[in-house]
Amino acid sequence: MAAIDQNTVRKDLRDFIIENFMVGSENETLHDNDSFMERGIVDSTGVLELTSFVEEKYAFTIEDDEMLPENLDSIDNLVKFIQKKLN
Amino acid sequence: MPFNKDSLKIDAAKETDRLCEAIVRQTRKFMKKGAVVGISGGIDSSVVVALCARALGPQRVLGIMMPESESSSESESLARKLGDKFGFETMKEVLTDALSGAGCYQKRNEAIKSVFPEFDDSWSCKITIPSNILEKETFNFFTLTIAKGGESKSKRMPPAAYLQVVAASNYKQRIRMTTLYYHAEKRNWLVAGTGNKDEHEQGFFVKYGDGGADIKPIAHLFKIQVYQIAEYLGIPQEIIKRTPTTDTYSAEVTQEEFFYGLDFYRMDMLWHALELNVPVDEAARVLGLTPEQVGRAYSNIKRKIDATEYLRMHPLMADE
């Protein structure tokens, strides 16, 4: 990832997910490859919040046909997607 | 019985008798004397009011039409036709002023204007979800469409706008619930809800809105089973043939477009297959789909059920 450090992106995404979708989650772990859908962390409203966050933070538009689990449904997937969009 | 195309066929006569017995039993259990039903001219409310009239006697049933400024004009005439056919009293309560007073339209339009600044009363609006759930594993996100004349514009909704549009629109269902309970309590009758299984279990209802009722006679029936009961009861064909809509937004939006993303036959059959743990290959063979399509549908249905569990829960006490 040329312009953005991958570790920083992971931390920013993790912080956002935990702060916004995992209330009172001090004793929970979130692995980078955990599916948000399978863990019940993000619902249809949450997806809109997540995409808004990513679009604003990384200054690109997520098209409707990119609203896919392979792009958005885990920290790992998000990092890969952000890297692809920025490169 | 192995899963097949007729797996959701029911004995409509037998089920009708069973539902009528339940309505009587539950009315007695609550020590009420009749039933009030919100009728929209749609298939579900038509079946529920007809069942109540059959079970309790039409003199103990009141069907209330509750239009507002954005309601379909067809709804009232169909609802009155139903009252004429089954002999129960009908009444109309126009809710426009109540909704305006609560700020329903103003709050909703404010949110829409944050997405489309040009929006005003000359435009109609609707919200839809992706319709290709069999073809792509996709998140259920919401798109706002405004239309005027031959022009329409669509945009994925930012979360704040989406939440405000839904919260404001939900005034409609909640004020309808309030109206139903006024009339029910005035008579010492109960409120019969009109949600079917698709709505109840996938969360296509408003908590304490159309979800607020004393009994829910058809909440266990798949939509395609509601149609079977409707045919048996002799619900007018214009109602049976009518496409189910939300009748919530100023632009007509079907229930498929707004929430389900799939036609009712395939939705119900796929969901029933999921309930029976039918392997994807077998469900695919029966329904003429690919295993991948069945897998996507299973996943979509499960997500909706899980995400809307809170709608079906009673208020939690401290120890829960």
CA-CA distance, A81 to A72, in Å (whole number)?
8
pTM, rounded to two decimals: 0.91
Taking the domain B12-100+164-312, which CATH number applies? 3.40.50.620
List, for residues B238-271, the tens digit of each pLDDT value. Answer: 999 987 766 667 766 666 666 666 788 999 999 9
Distances in whole angstroms, Cα of residue B51 to Cα of each of B18, B172, B195, B254: 10, 25, 14, 25
Which pLDDT does position B256 carry in this prediction?
67
Touching check for B290 and chain A: CB below 8 Å? Answer: no
CB contact under 8 A, A48 and B130: no
Residue B200: left if φ>0, alpha if ψ -120 to 50, beta else—which one? Answer: alpha
CB contact under 8 A, A64 and B303: no
Touching check for B143 and chain A: CB below 8 Å? Answer: yes
Helix (H, G, I), strand (E, B) or coil at B68: coil
Touching check for B132 and chain A: CB below 8 Å? Answer: no
From the CB of residue B223, how many other CB atoms can be counted at a distance below 10 Å? 23
Q: Give the closest of B137, B138, B159 to A48, CB-based.
A: B159
Whether residue A84 is predicted with pLDDT greater than 60 in this model: the reply is yes
- The tokens for B120 are 């005003």
List, for residues A3-54, the tens digit of each pLDDT value. Answer: 578 899 999 999 999 999 988 777 778 999 999 988 888 888 899 999 999 9
CA-CA distance, B304 to A43, in Å (whole number)?
8
Domain boundaries, chain A: 6-18+33-86
Average pLDDT of the residues in B199-222: 95
Best of A21, A36, A42, A48 to substitute, by most chain B Cβ atoms within 10 angstroms, is: A48
List, for residues B136-192, the tens digit of each pLDDT value. Answer: 777 878 899 999 998 999 999 999 999 999 999 999 999 999 999 999 999 999 999
Q: Does domain A6-18+33-86 have CATH number 1.10.1200.10?
A: yes
List, for residues B56-83, the tens digit of each pLDDT value. Answer: 999 999 999 999 998 877 888 888 899 9
Residue of A nearest to B130 (CA): A64
Hey, which residues does B144 pair with through a beta bridge?
Answer: B127, B155
List, for residues B17-35, the tens digit of each pLDDT value. Answer: 999 999 999 999 999 999 9
Cα torsion for B19, B24, B28, B33, to the nearest 10°?
130
Give B-chain residues touching A67 at CB under 8 angstroms. Answer: 130, 138-139, 141, 156
For residue B14, the surrounding DSSP H or E stretch is helix B12-29
Whether residue A1 is predicted with pLDDT greater than 50 in this model: the reply is no
Q: Where are the alpha helices (DSSP H) in chain A?
A: 6-21, 44-58, 69-72, 75-86
CA-CA distance, B64 to B294, in Å (whole number)?
40
Number of Cβ pairs closer than 8 Å across A and B? Answer: 49
CA-CA distance, B32 to B35, in Å (whole number)?
8
Touching check for B241 and chain A: CB below 8 Å? Answer: no
CA nearest neighbour of A81 among A30, A20, A15, A10: A10
Distances in whole angstroms, Cα of residue A82 to Cα of each of A11, A60, B192: 14, 9, 50
Map tokens 């019940």 to a residue. A40
Residues 6+ apart with CB under 8 A from B66: B38, B92, B93, B94, B95, B176, B179
